[in-house]
Amino acid sequence: MARHARHERRAFHALQWLRRSSVFSIVFAAVVGTSGAAAYQPGSRVTHRGYEVPVVTAGSGFTVWRSGFASYGVVLKSRESRRDAREVRIQVTLLDGHQRRLGSDVNILTRLSANRLFYFGGTIAFSGGRPATLKTLISVGWTSPRIQRLPQITTSSVRNLPGVGVSVQGEVKNTSLTLLDRDALISVVAFDQRGRVRGGGSDLLLSKTSVPPGSTRRFRVFVFGLTKSSIARVSVSIEPRLSSP
């Protein structure tokens, strides 16, 4: 049910993205690692390759955990200090040693908070070669005033799932003044002893109801292909999908 709900939500956001990009033409896009772009203007809705995307990657990595599957993690960083990035589209692609595409995973975050890191993880199905590098393409729909109070996350345990990976469990507290959507995305990135990204995973909060201000809910996210002994620490983020009570 969780996987089905996730796919439905991704399809819904994809349709939203296509509608907005075609009607308003407000997509800002950049391949991570490129430089020389002109300064991005907060709130600008002008399509131009000269504008920088206000979101970059601060780290990424992957682990092949089964023939044709890789667990990946990406650390996103917002350059904006006063405005949140909205409709953030993340395309992660595995490349072989000759820079040929082996497989991709595409997701959309409704909001990425200003001046913060967001830890995003997932799984890529691939074929046709041996993965060598991970390429990330980010595009942002628009920006809006930043949310002052964000949900807080406490990670309580990392448990081995023999032959599968690990389970990361914890608790989310809604410290905002509005409702936290019951389908808010929880995402995990795992690091090794040297601080390198080894992989990650994501799932929906899947609370029975929206989370009222001051309330808490538990969560669980699977990270495939890793063992507890290979992980030095995990970082967890939650998509701040907030609405009026």
CATH architecture, domain defined by 152-243: Sandwich (2.60)
Q: Can you give the pLDDT at residue 82? A: 87
Q: What is the pLDDT of residues 141-191, one digit of tens each?
A: 988 888 878 889 988 899 999 989 999 999 999 998 889 998 899 999 999
Q: What is the pLDDT of residue 104?
A: 96
Question: In angstroms, how far is the first alpha carbon of the chain from the final one?
Answer: 26
Task: Please state the pTM of the whole predicted model.
Answer: 0.78
Backbone angles phi, psi at 122, to 5 degrees: -175, -165
Give the per-residue pLDDT at 149.
83
∠ CA 77-79-80 to the nearest 5 degrees?
120
Question: 226 with 72: CB under 8 angstroms?
Answer: no
The whole-number pLDDT of residue 215 equals 93
For the chain, the structural domain boundaries read 2-31+54-145, 152-243
pLDDT reported for residue 65: 87
Q: Tell me the CATH class for 2-31+54-145.
A: mainly beta
- pLDDT score, position 53: 65
- What stretches in the chain show pLDDT beneath 50? 1-51, 245
Sign of CA dihedral 198, 233, 7, 175: negative
CA distance 71 to 75: 14
- Using DSSP's 3-state secondary structure scheme, residue 53 falls into coil
| Spatial separation of the C-alpha atoms in residues 135 and 182, rounded to whole Å | 31
Phi first, then psi: what are they for 3, rounded to 5°?
A: -65, -40
Could you give the CA distance from residue 43 to residue 143 in angstroms, rounded to a whole number?
Answer: 5
- In three-state secondary structure terms, 239 is coil
Please determine whether the domains at 2-31+54-145 and 152-243 fall in the same fold group of CATH: yes
Quote the pLDDT of residue 80.
83
Provide the residue count of the chain. 245
**CA distance linking residue 15 with residue 133, whole number of Å:** 29
CB 188 within 8 A of CB 200: yes
